[in-house]
Amino acid sequence: MVVCRHDTAVVVLSYNGKELHQLFFPELIAQSQGRYDVVLIDNASTDDTAAYVAQHFTEVHIVRIPVNHGFAHGYYEGLKQIQAKYYVLLSADFEITPNWFQPLHQLMEKHPDIAACQPKIKYYKDKSKFEYAGAGGGFIDTWGYLFCRGRIFFTLEEDKGQYDNTLEVFWASGGCMFVRADLYHQLGGLDAELYAHMEEVDLCWRMKNAGYRIAYCGSSTVYHIGGSVISYGSPQKIFYNYRNSLILLLKNLPASRLIWLLPFRLILDGVSGVRSILGGNFKEVKAILKAHWSFYRHFGLWYRKRKVSQSLITTPSGGGIYPKSIIAEYFIRKKTEYHQLDTAGWEQKIEP
């Protein structure tokens, strides 16, 4: 068991991440003094990652996972062995910036009803732009589709300071998520069965169903390389995108919405598959079919998880839900950037 000296553990999950740690650990450790502990969860690396970190970064605590069963499982098992008030789940391919930590910590200390928050996430290879995985905070639309401020579907916005405020969102990026440790464990943590995609959305949804808020803090910035776990646009990414989105709806929606929304989403997935066929993208078609087969085949497992998730519901918080269709806004009305959406009445700002 790692018992942290500070109230926060910045926890980096790593699989053969030696080169990334060489690049990013020096600054992460330099800024940790008096603020947070750094913990590496080595997810059964097949190289000398753990030995290298132990030798060159002696301040870092190391937790070893003997068998790699995916990103979510690595955190699920590793965080059981770390004792702190707060966790920061920080992917290995993130670069921090000066003063990244304090605004997030202050926000969590000031607002005990905020379960988790994220900083502004920008693209490491083009630091003028937001990054795909989290950008300026995550939302969900009325049909259960996810998007971000600064990134809607295939459009990445340039950061011009338009999203520097702090507000309530629906989900915080698992690439850099500040979360209350006791609540994380109380609600079951990341679902290891999701493997490596949308697991943070599922956790945030459970937190919101338990009455807590999720926040975005625009005064903190980090940079993400992206695609180091599962490459963007790959069949594997498409598989988890389609399968896990269905699992999230089944686990977390109330029965009154699930009964009509889930069948509708299945139809929309079919439409998406037809579009892929017409476009000659047969790898995508195969990934969609595989995702649906996996969802149906293990339906009993997902339904049992639904029963657990539904049992934890108290007074759900409703922030971060876009009341329209983001698909219609993006593809039909050509509103490709967040600031073009009508946010009056549902966007809820937070005093940092």
Asked if the structure places residue 261 within a domain, the reply is yes
Asked if the structure places residue 123 within a domain, the reply is no
Determine the pLDDT at residue 226: 81
Determine the pLDDT at residue 344: 85
Tokens of residue 273, six digits: 């598959």
Q: How many domains does the chain have?
A: 1
Asked if the structure places residue 138 within a domain, the reply is no
Tokens of residue 54, six digits: 């132990």
Within 13 A of 129's CA, how many CA atoms are on the CB side?
A: 16
Give me the chain's average pLDDT, please. Answer: 95
Those residues with Cβ within 8 angstroms of residue 246's Cβ, 6 or more apart along the chain or in another chain: 262, 265, 266, 269, 291, 292, 295
Tell me: the pLDDT tens digits for 126-138?
A: 999 999 989 999 9
Among residues 237, 235, 250, 243, which one has the least CA distance to residue 205?
250
Determine the pLDDT at residue 215: 98
Asked if the structure places residue 285 within a domain, the reply is yes
Tokens of residue 190, six digits: 């990341």
Instruction: Quote the domain boundaries for residue 278.
Output: 235-313
Asked if the structure places residue 289 within a domain, the reply is yes
Asked if the structure places residue 2 within a domain, the reply is no
Asked if the structure places residue 200 within a domain, the reply is no
Tell me: the pLDDT tens digits for 207-245?
A: 999 999 999 999 999 999 986 555 566 889 899 999 999
Phi, psi for residue 79 in degrees, rounded to 5:
-70, -20
Specify which residues 158 forms β-bridges with.
129
Tell me: the pLDDT tens digits for 105-127?
A: 999 999 999 999 999 999 999 99
Asked if the structure places residue 1 within a domain, the reply is no
- Residue ranges, the chain, pLDDT below 50: none
First to last CA, the chain: 33
